[in-house]
């Protein structure tokens, strides 16, 4: 099947599945998953044979994947060969190599085929902008690093795609971006907020937050500026995991990924993902580092795909303390709410665990003192209620736009547990 046919076929399949009932969708997914387990998974040396059930497979993670990279891809490409390809043009023969930005300190690699690239493009277009495709789209992708994943879009007559390097800073490409006049923008929320603060001349039809946690304080600023609802694309090195529908529901990409969920406390879950439509690099029962709050109700759009109420943050950024009752964990959403609910004038902050018993709360000098004191008291009260052995230091300092790293308003700088 040629590349265009892969993209069109994936687009059509994604749209068709979105109209099924949940029961019919689960039947389709079970067949697709079984085919993956029997046909594709055994081709990776790490597995070698098909399991009776998916739960018979071991749980994997980034450390294991990177340590045995060649055992998880069907071409035996080593991590050293992949890094070398990435340093050149991101090509390893007919394969495309990409890498994560390394938020957690260790970058992850991925490798995909040409067919998978076009399959990805068809899927994301069907989910994000099916109504705009046939009118022609100008898509601006603003991320810290370009990857060959987006090359497939550049070969389409219906899509003009421009990549803007976040690490160079918005002022270096502002004129080019405004001249491109994108109809779709995909960017981290901090950059979308920067567009609002600096009054960029943009008039897109669709705006997607991507690559960072979308905090509640960012949404109204961005939506008021663009006069559009802010949608989300939840994507990582490991694949495409969720996209917002036109009714505002953030739907899991269950049409290409099988999700299992491990409880993480506070009503949150951590996903194990099996990407059953990937055939080059096998991702099976791979533990993500993200904390999700799942929706209890189906979306009013009628899609059978389950929804996520909130992507809370990373498990790595949960704060860890000692207490009289033993070790305790406080998740990013609880910490974020302690700051934001203290005073409605707070619209930006940094809360960092710098040591086992030390936290730094950083607030801008422009914030009134009484609001800063209220936030400090709010975090201190939360820790006291949890009996956490920790002190909070208030720092008043400007919160400048950082383009070299992902924005993590709540960040744990302790060594991983």
Q: Give the phi and the psi of residue 49 in degrees, each rounded to 5.
A: -145, 160
Residue-level pLDDT at 136? 82
Higher pLDDT: 158 or 38? It is 38
Residue-level pLDDT at 152? 60
Domain ranges of the chain: 3-313, 318-412
Residue-level pLDDT at 350? 97
pLDDT band with cut points at 50, 70 and 90 for residue 101: low
The answer to whether the CB of 240 falls within 8 A of the CB of 221 is no
Model confidence over 32-73: pLDDT tens digits? 999 999 999 999 999 999 999 999 999 999 999 999 999 999
Residue-level pLDDT at 158? 74
* Closest listed residue to residue 305, CA positions, set 115, 28, 6, 8: 28
The answer to whether the CB of 394 falls within 8 A of the CB of 363 is yes
pTM for the whole structure: 0.91
Please give the C-alpha separations between residue 233 and each of 55, 203, 207, 250, 371, in angstroms, as whole numbers. 28, 19, 10, 8, 33
pLDDT band with cut points at 50, 70 and 90 for residue 415: confident
Please give the C-alpha separations between residue 178 and each of 195, 246, 371, in angstroms, as whole numbers. 11, 25, 37
Note whether 3-313 and 318-412 share their fold.
no
How far is the C-alpha of 230 from the C-alpha of 233, rounded, in Å? 10
Residue-level pLDDT at 90? 87
* Closest listed residue to residue 63, CA positions, set 20, 112, 10, 105: 105
Q: Give the phi and the psi of residue 219 in degrees, each rounded to 5.
A: -55, -55
Question: Which CATH architecture fits 3-313?
Answer: 3-Layer(aba) Sandwich (3.40)
Report the 10 Å Cβ neighbour count for 337: 13
Q: Give the phi and the psi of residue 294 in degrees, each rounded to 5.
A: -80, 145
Model confidence over 251-294: pLDDT tens digits? 999 999 999 999 998 899 999 999 999 999 999 999 999 999 99
Which helix (H) or strand (E) is 197 found in, with range? helix 189-197
Is the pLDDT confidence value at 212 over 60? yes
Residue-level pLDDT at 150? 65
CATH label, 318-412, candidates 3.90.79.10, 3.30.70.2210, 3.40.50.10470, 3.40.50.720 = 3.30.70.2210
Model confidence over 302-347: pLDDT tens digits? 999 999 999 999 999 999 999 998 999 999 999 999 999 999 999 9
How far is the C-alpha of 407 from the C-alpha of 209, rounded, in Å? 13
The answer to whether the CB of 126 falls within 8 A of the CB of 235 is no
How far is the C-alpha of 64 from the C-alpha of 226, rounded, in Å? 42
pLDDT average, residue stretch 118-122 = 89
Model confidence over 338-388: pLDDT tens digits? 999 999 999 999 999 999 999 999 999 999 999 999 999 999 999 999 999
**DSSP structure string for 363-379:** E-TTS-HHHHHHHHHHH
pLDDT band with cut points at 50, 70 and 90 for residue 239: confident
Task: Please report how many Cα atoms fall inside a 13 Å half-sphere around the Cα of residue 113, on the Cβ side.
Answer: 17
């Amino acid at each position: 099947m040629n590349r265009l046919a892969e993209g069109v076929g994936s687009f059509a399949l994604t749209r068709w599945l979105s109209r099924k009932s949940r029961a019919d969708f689960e039947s389709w997914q079970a067949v697709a998953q079984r085919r993956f387990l029997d046909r594709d998974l055994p081709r990776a040396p790490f597995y070698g044979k098909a399991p009776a059930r998916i739960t018979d497979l071991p749980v994997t993670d980034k450390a294991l994947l990177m340590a045995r990279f060649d055992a998880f891809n069907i071409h035996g490409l080593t991590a050293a060969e992949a890094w070398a390809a990435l340093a050149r043009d991101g090509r390893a023969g007919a394969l495309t190599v990409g890498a994560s930005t390394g938020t957690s300190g260790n970058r992850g690699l991925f490798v995909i085929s040409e067919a998978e690239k076009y399959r990805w493009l068809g899927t994301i277009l069907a989910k994000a902008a099916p109504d705009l495709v046939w009118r022609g789209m100008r898509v601006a992708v603003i991320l810290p690093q370009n990857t060959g994943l987006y090359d497939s879009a550049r070969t389409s007559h219906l899509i003009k795609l421009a990549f803007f390097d976040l690490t160079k800073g918005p002022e270096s490409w502002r004129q080019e971006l405004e001249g491109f006049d994108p109809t779709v923008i995909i960017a981290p929320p901090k950059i979308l907020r920067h567009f609002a603060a600096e009054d960029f001349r943009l008039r897109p039809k669709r705006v997607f937050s991507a690559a960072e946690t979308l905090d509640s304080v960012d949404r109204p600023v961005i939506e008021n500026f663009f006069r559009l609802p802010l949608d989300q694309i939840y994507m990582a090195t490991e694949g495409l995991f969720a996209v917002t529908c036109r009714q505002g529901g953030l739907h899991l990409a269950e049409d290409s990924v099988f999700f299992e969920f491990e409880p993480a406390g506070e009503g949150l879950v951590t996903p194990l993902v099996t990407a059953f439509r990937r055939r080059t690099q096998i991702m099976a029962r791979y533990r993500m580092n993200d904390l999700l709050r799942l929706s209890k109700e189906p979306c009013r759009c009628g899609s059978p795909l389950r929804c996520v109420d909130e992507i809370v943050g990373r498990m790595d950024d949960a704060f860890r303390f000692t207490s009289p009752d033993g070790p305790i964990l406080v998740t990013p959403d609880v910490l974020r709410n302690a700051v934001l609910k203290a005073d409605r004038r707070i619209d930006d902050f940094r809360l960092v665990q710098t040591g086992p018993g030390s936290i730094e709360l950083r607030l801008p000098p422009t914030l009134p003192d009484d609001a800063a004191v209220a936030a400090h008291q709010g975090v201190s009260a939360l820790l006291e209620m949890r009996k956490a052995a920790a002190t909070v230091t208030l720092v008043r300092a400007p919160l400048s736009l950082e383009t070299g790293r992902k924005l993590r308003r709540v960040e744990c700088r302790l060594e991983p547990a």
